[in-house]
């Protein structure tokens, strides 16, 4: 499939007339062909208008059609073959192996939601039968199902050009809910976006869905995204990116005439607690595992462990040394974009200059362009608690080891940090009492709590939570990965005394979809 | 039980020192004893601090304790006996019969949530067992449950001094989720608030829960509520009231360092469509039912039908006449407060002065103080579509009948209105085709769709939705009435590879709580 540099607005390919943009190869510092035409507010308006028109028809399509639609997207992405991987590799400098894995994850995610649609539990079908004889007043017949919220705007992330982008988790879960999607392509991977966008556009056509079910718009600055979030047809927003970007979208969404929810995944330093028993028994092994997790994919994961918390004790120096040594053996590598590499270099330079921060180790430098060089720092709990900058996320392969004088200081630190995507505990049998003290705090702070593992690597499954209190996300009641992500794009509607011929299929007496339903408060197939 | 005029801050009774307030008897235009001491920002800070401290202990209490707590509140409210009803009657001018019904609803609501806690489905317990042999990477053991979001601020509504106030649906569902609650008492029913607050305070003590589980603060202006919503310990807000009030709280919540969700139920005119077949067959009966629903409780229901939509046809004049005649027989009655009565009088005066509005009927006047006199108006679809003021909610017993030239105009009107709590259809067999055309629009606009009934009267049950798109509420993904209201105050947490001794009870292998759980995507008791 050819990359043309066009936007996809409904069924059409449209060359934007608001300037020319190029994708960029960060490893070679070169622009990539072809040129892309940037879109205008009018293009966004057309895409949103089509999405509005498509909404009722798309959500009315049989669930089987919706499931097949997601599966067709998955098949079409696979059919793009090596060309997709090569383009994504050029645009992101991520390795081919990593991108092949990410493609598998993207396809798996679409298929998980296809099976989730068929399962139908997301409808939350609930029936309270009429009680005409009830005193003092009869009860009406009440039936509830969830319906999609409306067209959704999706902003792809730079660090997952496949799994968190055009056909990523936000798009897949919005489609699964029955919402049309308008994606704003991430400027760091325009070609990848177009290829995947065309795979979706073809699936829309093949499944006989209305053309407005999907559009892909592009633009250089923030303007086009702002217009998209402000558009009256858009009813929710999915975003993965920086704290500043997420806050800007939240602000636009809150100021609309009709405010809408923004699901922004923004900022997390993923505290990693190594408790004394684990430090004694597995210190060196944990240090190596931590450094592998930290430097994976040049540290460009939302869940990479940017904060290590240990107690000052006899085994601590050896742990710190082992981590420093392991990190020193990691090399610098090209980051996703020149801008990200520059921000990372600034971030670690500022951290190194911190009064109470000690530079522990630095990876091997390289002459690779836009490279991020691993860097490890250390400080004390007191210094960390008194300098909020030490809690800022530096996106890339760097972490800060914080030493606590005692257990109370460790708990105070856990209580002090902002909301997180993850919190990790390394524990042995003699750490259980301390872990029990930490857990309630970690539950309040993080969306996922791991024991004896490493936070990078987010499983796509039913029990996953990729979310957490602000600023990890804008809405801790949700997850952006896993089956539960669909709930972000649903709302309940109650039907009271509707004649049988007007009732939605999911709520008809004979349960034609064979759904799990709650009847008079009891779950079953009634 | 004595009304003292104190606030309830944790286990203490505290006399506010920031001025004196009095409850007011709107029917007699007199202040009611005793004087209340208004609270300060420091009082709010103490209440929120206690709530924060209480949170982990309250949520860790056995679910049975939490359920008994709600039941104890219900028992304590009943034990207040006639004194509660009499005080509520004095403060609100609502009839004793209505208030007794409302007490039953309040108690029923607490008991529904008690049984919902025991059921445990709200935990959404989900287990993806480890797959150590999976290729290319093993899968970790992943387990999800929902936990409460944290302390909740509740703002009671003037129009339901029991069911939407201190121990109303917001408080009951927040407690059910495991959240401590700080209530700001509505100044229109301070005595009722204190009585119910003491019933809760006693239940906290009797159930051995931490004192910060509940506080009740009072204040004259908006300042104390603003401080409450801005307090870092507060993690969500429940509010029922005016659009202006709700928007102000949403703004404060969005501007916090950590933004939090506001569940505000604000404004709805509850469109009521009478389709031609129903108009022909039951026009006069529907007109009378509509007027009864409109004037019930002096029209002071969130769901009262403020907009009637009919097609211009042979049966329309008779329907309009019947409604006008029925309304003319209703008398003026005292409203909840002098302020509400004044705003209502202004609202209907402005509406009567509208260029394209025809005054159809007015109820019988009275010399009752702060009375709201029923008033019915008519206009055309064209006038309605071109004057946004005709869509404003006038809180009280008034409605506007809009006549449409044809079906397309009716559908355009449905598409034009803002979000609503309810939409009602009156249909007969020959209306089904038109109803089918209207339904997708009504689903997008309203949280509850009724056929052949009247929107006032909100059942407290599993399938109820009392919510809807903005401005009906600030968050259409939720309901403030019914079992699903608990979901507003929950968030998911995933536990990865946690040792058995650290796992929450709900997620332990042997399923000790005998919960419905999703295992590997399948629902059961495994």
B493-511 pLDDT, tens per residue? 999 999 999 999 999 999 9
pLDDT tens digits, one per residue of A104-117: 999 999 999 999 99
Residue A16 distance to chain B (closest CA, Å): 31
| CA B357 to centroid of chain Cα atoms | 31
- Give the catalytic positions of B in this structure: 265, 302
Contacts of B453 in chain A (CB under 8 A): 140, 496-497
Residues of A in contact with B137 (CB under 8 A): 457
Asked if residue B221 has pLDDT above 90, the reply is no
**CB burial class (10 A; 0-12, 13-18, 19+) of residue A510?**
exposed
By CB atoms closer than 10 A (0-12, 13-18, 19+), residue B31 is exposed
- Cβ distance A497 to B453 less than 8 Å, yes or no, reads yes
- Within 8 A of A108 by CB-CB distance, chain B residues are none
Contact state of B447 with A492 under an 8 Å Cβ cutoff: yes
Chain B neighbors of A137, CB-CB under 8 A: 457
Tokens at B259, concatenated: 């933004």
In angstroms, what CA-CA distances link B303 with A149, A168, B390, B438?
22, 40, 17, 20
**Does residue B68 have a pLDDT over 90?**
yes
- Angle (nearest 5°) at CA A117 between A115 and A118: 65
- B150-160 pLDDT per residue, tens: 999 999 999 99
Query: Which residues, at least 6 apart from A119, have a Cβ–Cβ distance to it below 8 Å?
Result: B521
- Taking CA–CA distances from A142, the nearest residue in chain B reads B463
> What value does the mean pLDDT of chain B take?
97
Q: Which residue of A has its CA nearest to B504?
A: A439
Give the pLDDT score at B526.
87
Choose the closest CB to B492 out of A254, A484, A492. A484
Write the DSSP assignment of A235-297 as a string of letters: -EEEEES-HHHHHHHHHHHHHSSS---EEEE-----EEEE-HHHHHHHHHHHHHHHHHHHHGG
Q: Contacts of residue A462 in chain B, CB cutoff 8 Å?
A: 126, 128, 144, 518, 520-521
Mean pLDDT of the A202-212 span = 98
- Distance between CA atoms of residues A79 and A75, nearest Å: 6
**Is residue B169 a contact partner of residue B35, using CB atoms and an 8 Å limit?**
no
Per-residue pLDDT averaged across B436-454, rounded?
A: 98
pTM above threshold 0.95: yes
| List of chain B residues whose C-beta atoms are within 8 Å of the C-beta of residue A136 | 101
- Residue A86 · residue A23 · CB < 8 Å: no
Distance to chain A for B450, nearest Cα, Å = 5
Q: Which residue of A has its CA nearest to B148?
A: A444
Nearest to B177 by CA among B468, B478, B522: B478
Could you say which of A432, A479, A518 has the minimum Cβ distance to residue B492? A479
Domain architecture of chain A: domains with CATH:
9-17+42-131+138-266+477-488 (3.40.605.10), 271-451 (3.40.309.10)
- The tens digit of pLDDT for each residue in A240-266 reads 999 999 999 999 999 999 999 999 999
pLDDT of res. A326: 98
A126 and B467 in contact by Cβ < 8 A? no
Which residues of A are less than 8 Å from B439 in CB distance? Answer: 502
pLDDT mean over B280-293: 98
Q: A282 pLDDT band (50/70/90 cuts)?
A: very high
SS (HEC) of B381-415: HHHHHHCHHHHCCCCCCEEEEEEECCHHHHHHHHH
User: Contact A493/B446, CB-based, under 8 Å?
Assistant: yes
Give me the residue from A254, A479, A521 closest to B462, CB to CB: A521
Substitution target from B437, B492, B497 for chain A, most A beta carbons within 10 A = B492
Contacts (Cβ under 8 Å, ≥6 apart) of A2: none
Contacts of A493 in chain B (CB under 8 A): 443, 446-449, 465
Q: Based on the residue annotation, tell me whether A494 is a catalytic residue of this protein.
A: no
* Residues 6 or more apart whose Cβ sits within 8 Å of residue A193: A156, A161, A165, A166, A183, A185, A186, A216, A218
pLDDT classification of B220: cutoffs 50, 70, 90: confident
Contact A498 B451 (CB under 8 A): yes
Please give, rounded to a whole number of angstroms, the shortest distance from the CA of A21 to a CA of chain B. Answer: 35
Nearest by CB to residue A447, choosing from B139, B494, B516, is B494
Average pLDDT estimate for A359-364: 97
What is the distance between the alpha carbons of residues A421 and A265, in angstroms, rounded to a whole number? 9
Q: What is the mean pLDDT of residues A440-456?
A: 98
pLDDT band at A526 (very low <50, low <70, confident <90, very high): confident
Inter-chain contact B435–A502, Cβ cutoff 8 Å?
A: yes
Q: How far apart are CA A492 and CA A494, in angstroms?
A: 7
By Cβ distance, the residue of A251, A453, A520 closest to B497 is A453
Q: Does residue B13 register a pLDDT over 90?
A: yes
* pLDDT at site B63: 97
**For helices B96-119 and B169-177, angle between their N-to-C axes, nearest 10 degrees:** 20
Q: At A426, is the pLDDT very low, low, confident or very high (cuts 50, 70, 90)?
A: very high
Per-residue DSSP letter, A374: -
Q: Is the pLDDT reported for residue B10 higher than 90?
A: yes
pLDDT at A221 over 90: no
Mark yes or no for CB contact A490/B477 under 8 Å: yes
Strand segments (E) across A81-193: 126-128, 142-148, 152-155, 181-184
pLDDT digits (tens, 9 = 90+) for B352-395: 999 899 999 999 999 899 999 999 999 999 999 999 999 999 99
Rounded average pLDDT over B164-192: 98
The total of other beta-carbon atoms located within 10 Å of residue B179's CB is 30
CA distances from A67 to A115, A168, A178 (A): 7, 16, 10
Measured distance CA(A184)–CA(A245) in Å, rounded: 13
Average pLDDT, chain A: 97
Q: Nearest to residue B225, comparing CAs of B15, B466, B69, B47?
A: B47
Which residues have a Cβ under 8 Å from the Cβ of A71 and sit 6 or more positions away?
A110, A111, A114
Task: Report whether A1 contacts A195 (CB < 8 A).
Answer: yes
What pLDDT shows up at residue B286? 98
Pairing verdict, β B7-9 and B12-14: antiparallel
> Which chain B residue lies closest to A491 (C-alpha atoms)?
B477
CA separation for the pair A165, B200 (Å, rounded): 49
pLDDT at residue B1, as a whole number: 81
Query: Which residue from A60, A137, A465 is facing B493, i.e. has the nearest CB?
Result: A465
Instruction: Quickly state the pLDDT bin for B133 (edges 50, 70, 90).
Output: very high
Report pLDDT for A173. 98
> Per the CB < 8 Å rule, is A462 touching B499?
no
Q: Above 90 in pLDDT, residue A150?
A: yes
Structure tokens at A47: 């895409």
Which residue is closest to B433 within chain A, CA to CA? A502
Return the sign of the alpha-carbon dihedral for residues B472, B478, B483, B488: negative
Report phi then psi at A517, rounded to 5: -135, 150
Tokens of B471: 């401005």
């Amino acid at each position: 499939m050819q990359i043309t540099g066009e936007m996809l607005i409904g069924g059409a390919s449209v060359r934007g007339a608001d300037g020319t943009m190029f994708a960029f190869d960060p490893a070679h510092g070169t622009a990539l062909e072809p040129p892309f035409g940037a879109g205008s507010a009018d293009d966004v308006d057309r895409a949103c208008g089509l999405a509005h028109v498509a909404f009722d028809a798309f959500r009315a399509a049989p669930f089987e059609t919706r499931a097949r639609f997601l599966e067709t997207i998955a098949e079409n992405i696979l059919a793009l073959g090596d060309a997709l991987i090569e383009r994504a590799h050029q645009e992101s400098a991520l390795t081919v192996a990593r991108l092949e894995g990410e493609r598998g994850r993207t396809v798996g995610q679409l298929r998980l939601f296809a099976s989730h649609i068929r399962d139908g539990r997301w409808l939350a079908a609930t029936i309270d039968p009429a009680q005409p004889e009830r005193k003092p007043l009869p009860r009406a017949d009440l039936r509830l199902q969830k319906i999609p919220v409306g067209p959704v705007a999706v902003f792809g992330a730079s660090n997952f050009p496949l799994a968190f982008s055009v056909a990523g988790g936000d798009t897949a879960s919005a489609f699964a809910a029955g919402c049309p999607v308008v994606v704003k392509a991430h400027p760091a991977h325009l070609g990848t976006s177009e290829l995947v966008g065309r795979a979706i556009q073809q699936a829309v056509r093949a499944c006989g869905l209305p053309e407005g079910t999907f559009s892909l718009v592009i633009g250089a600055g923030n303007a086009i995204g702002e217009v998209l979030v402000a558009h009256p047809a858009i009813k929710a927003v999915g975003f993965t990116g920086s704290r500043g970007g997420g806050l800007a979208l939240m602000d636009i969404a809150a100021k609309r005439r009709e405010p809408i929810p923004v699901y922004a995944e923004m900022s997390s330093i993923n505290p990693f607690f190594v408790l004394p028993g684990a430090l004694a028994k597995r210190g060196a092994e944990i240090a190596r595992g931590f450094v592998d997790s930290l430097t994976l994919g040049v540290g460009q994961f939302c869940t990479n462990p940017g904060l290590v918390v240990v107690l000052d004790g006899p085994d601590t120096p050896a742990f710190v040394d082992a981590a420093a040594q392991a990190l020193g053996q990691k090399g610098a590598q090209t980051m996703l974009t020149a801008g990200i590499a520059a921000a990372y270099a600034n971030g670690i330079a500022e951290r190194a200059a911190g009064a109470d921060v000690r530079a522990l180790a630095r990876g091997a430098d390289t002459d690779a362009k836009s490279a991020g060089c691993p860097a490890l720092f250390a400080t004390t709990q007191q210094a960390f608690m008194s300098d909020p900058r030490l809690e800022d996320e530096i996106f890339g392969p760097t972490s800060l080891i914080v030493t606590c004088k005692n257990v109370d200081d460790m708990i105070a630190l856990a209580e002090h940090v902002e909301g997180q995507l993850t919190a990790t505990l390394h524990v042995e049998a003699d750490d259980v009492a301390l872990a029990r003290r930490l857990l309630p705090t970690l539950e309040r702070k993080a969306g996922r709590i791991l024991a004896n593992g490493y936070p990078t690597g987010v499983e796509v499954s039913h029990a996953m939570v990729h979310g957490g209190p602000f600023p990890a996300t804008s809405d801790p009641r949700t997850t952006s990965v896993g089956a539960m992500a669909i709930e972000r794009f649903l709302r309940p509607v109650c039907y009271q005394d509707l004649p049988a011929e007007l009732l939605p299929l999911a709520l008809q007496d004979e349960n034609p979809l064979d759904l799990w339903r709650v009847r008079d408060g009891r779950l079953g197939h009634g």
